[in-house]
Structure 1
Amino acid sequence: MDLGGSYWWSALACGSGRLYAQNHDGVLTAFDPATGKKIWTVELPGQYSFTSPPTFAAGVVYTGGAGSGGTLYAVDAASGAVLWTRSVANGDNSSPAVTANGVYVSYACEQTYAFGPESGDPIWHHDTECSGGGGRTPVVADGGVWVRDDAGMTPTVLDATDGAVRGTYEAANWSPAPAFDGRQGYFVDDGVLQERHSRTLATRWKFEGDGRISTAPIVVNGYVYVGSLSGRLWALNGATGQSVWSTDVGAPINEPDEHNVSEPLTGLGAGGGLVVVPATDLLVAYGQ
């Protein structure tokens, strides 16, 4: 299916039995995932540069756009109607993180926002009095919003309720998004995976692998999966960091590029009893 658009960037989300595809020009389309039949299409208004992957939650597709300032959109997943829009300091490269209590986005200089999922009403804005282009997808876990800044500020944890700074943690600002399982957090930095407590931020174990771990980690049923630039994939015990199994995927597993629009954002996925790995020009699925 040709999605069109001015650049190669595109992104997908799934929910309510539909596949939602968005291109760089802000054309968001719902498809029947079994047949490819188009269900609805909407051209999101007011912006012309879209690099934030959409997020589906509770019958709504959330996404961001940029070009002239920034806009956060909420779209009805059944009809394609735009339910609400809100202005933000930037609309680039930040896929909305959505919970029952908030829609969270984060842009350059840690310009981070929380909005009500149904109404779009502002809840809080973490304003650092600077701005710029770009953004990073925040991670919401254990009452915190984990922010990795695109402009070089120290990675920060904000309180999900009021946006207050809860702490900072050591990681390069280009490190991939962390993953969480309860209060266990998993962070990839400088080619190494480490587990940290989400409150004390104390490191309890590290897994170096081949020293080239590149992917954002994912957690499935207590196991942590990470991939390497060498093409190695590991499944680790989340409590101990011990390798349960590993395999050679057959091609390098490149790190996610959250800043450029030259290609779609890649990452490990899981569902339906499978772990799915994009590796250069291969897509590989592993079963139980």
Structure 2
Amino acid sequence: MKIHKIIVLIISFYCLLNFSAWAEVFVHKKDIQSAWKFTQSNGPFHTVPIIHNNQVIALPKGGQIVSVALDSGKKLWSKNYEKGIWERSLSVGKESVYYGTKDKQLCALDAKTGHNIWCVFLPKNMQRAVIERHNKIYVVTAELGPGLDGDKTKGGSIYAINSNSGDIIWHKKTNNYAMQSPIIKGDTLYVAGSYDDPSVDIDEGGPVSIIALDADHGNKKWQFFSEDGFIKTLYATDNFLAFVGYQDFISGLDVHTGRLLWRRDSGNWVPAISGYQDTLYYGSANTKVHAWNISNGETLWEYNIKKGSFNYTLDAPIKVGNYLFFLSQRGGLFILNAQTGKPIIHRNTGLVAHIGLATNGKWVVIGDSMGIIHAYDVSQLLQNN
């Protein structure tokens, strides 16, 4: 499939998620009440609210960044930007909140107060979350993406930026016109994105690459090329890296060489993957939740969500301690045993959401399709189980 067709599919799917009326068919009568909820705006959440210390920091579509108290939902501060903020750019470091504006700025706020720290203009828009390491943040810019009308033959860039001042430390150009948020493991930065290759014409997928860089200086270690299309997420250990793309496959690479070690059918469409040590977790559209060994792609366990078709995971499951948390398409809040996949909790929230949940193991936070933040006390859920 040609690149422009893939872009159309991505944008079409993105638009489809905005029709909350369509999603109403998934709502069941709720059997749990939230501990608190906070109404931010009428816009849906397309990025998961972030739990940071004793705060929840969130940004719905077309809204403003807001911080509320984790234990009560009381508003602490908010930040608006007249020209708009890319909602998927919201991220939080140790002490700062980072976001990208629709006039090509990257900005940092004090996480406790919401006060401005710095802003820096970049040549292109930053639509993805940054990652912070020591006194640096790593940023990717995009040539194409939702709301952008760029040239697919031109690539975005990767930046290392001083987190205290906003000064650029190093900058590398790529041929990837759109990139996912980078991840870092050890001293290696991994960035994945799509690039243009007119010679590639396949029914599913498209040309993508994963670049491994020295995090301190930006020197390229290796680059892996694939036709899996639109890489969604990466997960890395000291020895292995796994990724899932537009095609229904998950692949494992050797992080030292970039060599493909295994590639396995995921069973159906996968929104994202996550991991802990050598275990990968993901949910697929066949309603199954999986745990795989990242070294060889072998199955460790499977769990089937038993509430009918289309009731699959939103985003990737999140492991905290011995628990694995996820939200399903029909608003089901699940907690599994992360080692065995055996169910511990399944409760109906009654919510319509476009994205998954956030959790620190004590609280679960969900941003719904109406711009409302809901919080659930995990200890109460376990007590009432």
Give the TM-score normalised by the residue count of structure 1.
0.84
Asked if 1:273 corresponds to 2:273, the answer is no
Q: Give me the whole-angstrom Cα distance separating, in 2, the residues matched to 1:194 and 1:140.
A: 17
Could you give the per-residue CA deviations for residues 198-233 of structure 1, whole angstroms, max 9, x where no partner exists?
Answer: 223222322222351232111111211111111111
Aligned to 2:132: 56
Which of these two proteins has the greater Rg computed from alpha carbons?
2
Q: Matched residue of 2:90: which SS? A: strand
Measured after TM superposition, the shift of residue 91 of structure 1 is: 4.5
Residue identity (%) = 24
Asked if 1:75 corresponds to 2:161, the answer is yes
Q: Give me the whole-angstrom Cα distance separating, in 2, the residues matched to 1:13 and 1:225.
A: 21
Larger relative helix fraction: 2
* 1:224 aligned partner, one-letter code: L
Q: 1:75 to 1:149 in 2, by over 3 A?
A: same
Q: 1:40 to 1:56 in 2, by over 3 A?
A: same
Give the TM-score normalised by the residue count of structure 2.
0.65
What's the RMSD between the two structures over aligned residues? 2.5
Measured after TM superposition, the shift of residue 38 of structure 1 is: 0.4
Could you give the per-residue CA deviations for residues 238-284 of structure 1, whole angstroms, max 9, x where no partner exists?
Answer: 11111111222231232xxxxxxxxxxx4422338323222323322
Aligned to 2:47: none
Could you give the per-residue CA deviations for residues 68-87 of structure 1, whole angstroms, max 9, x where no partner exists?
Answer: 31211111111111111111
Task: Tell whether the 8 Å contact from 1:195 to 1:203 is kept in structure 2 after alignment.
Answer: yes
Aligned residues: 272
Task: Tell whether the 8 Å contact from 2:242 to 2:294 is kept in structure 1 after alignment.
Answer: no
Q: Give me the whole-angstrom Cα distance separating, in 2, the residues matched to 1:172 and 1:85.
A: 38
Q: Give me the whole-angstrom Cα distance separating, in 2, the residues matched to 1:272 and 1:33.
A: 21
2:113 corresponds, among 22, 35, 38, to 35
Q: 1:172 to 1:117 in 2, by over 3 A?
A: farther
Q: 1:142 to 1:245 in 2, by over 3 A?
A: farther
Task: Tell whether the 8 Å contact from 2:228 to 2:245 is kept in structure 1 after alignment.
Answer: no
Q: Matched residue of 1:175: which SS? A: coil
Q: Give me the whole-angstrom Cα distance separating, in 2, the residues matched to 1:90 and 1:6.
A: 25
Aligned to 1:15: 93
Aligned to 1:94: 180
Measured after TM superposition, the shift of residue 174 of structure 1 is: 5.1
Gaps of 5+ in 1: 255-265
Gaps of 5+ in 2: 1-78, 144-153, 195-206, 380-385
Q: 1:22 to 1:183 in 2, by over 3 A?
A: same
Q: 1:16 to 1:204 in 2, by over 3 A?
A: closer
Asked if 1:199 corresponds to 2:295, the answer is yes
Q: Give me the whole-angstrom Cα distance separating, in 2, the residues matched to 1:285 and 1:34.
A: 20
Could you say which structure has the greater relative contact order, defined with CA pairs below 8 angstroms and 6 or more residues apart?
A: 2
Asked if 1:113 corresponds to 2:214, the answer is no
